[in-house]
Amino acid sequence: MSNQDFDLDAVKHFFEHDYHDRGMMKWQGFYLSDHTAALNQQKQQLNEVYVPRPQQSLAEITQQPVTIQLKTVDQNNRHLPDITTLIHGYNANDIVVDADWFIPLPEIRNVVYKKTEKL
């Protein structure tokens, strides 16, 4: 077919009156049931309301005893003894424990919070 076989008026009439472009609908894919279930679960989690716990003082937050295991090992590949201490503060890279001793966060292997009994 050549361009001479087309009637430009007929083509113009077709696009103005007969052809209906579906727009973005033709580009949207179909969701599988797994996808819709995951999306519904995510939406439900985002809409959950979390009940706030009571505000603690700085002393309550920082004066909790913890046991820290470091990644450091001795020459026999044994872990060093755990450190049981209070956390006095922190910064972006370290936690501060007893007597202004800074422990780098990447050196910490594990932390266990010790429960204390209130008198």
Q: What's 58-113's CATH class?
A: mainly beta
Residue ranges in the chain modelled with pLDDT below 50? 118-119
Per-residue pLDDT at 119: 37
Strand partners, 84: 67
Per-residue pLDDT at 55: 78
Taking Cα atoms as reference points, which of 61, 115, 70 lies closest to residue 89? 61
Per-residue pLDDT at 26: 56
Return the C-alpha torsion angle 18, 24, 27, 33, nearest 10.
-120
Per-residue pLDDT at 18: 82
Per-residue pLDDT at 88: 83
- Where are the domains positioned within the chain? 3-47, 58-113
Q: Which two tokens stand for residue 24?
A: 């973005």
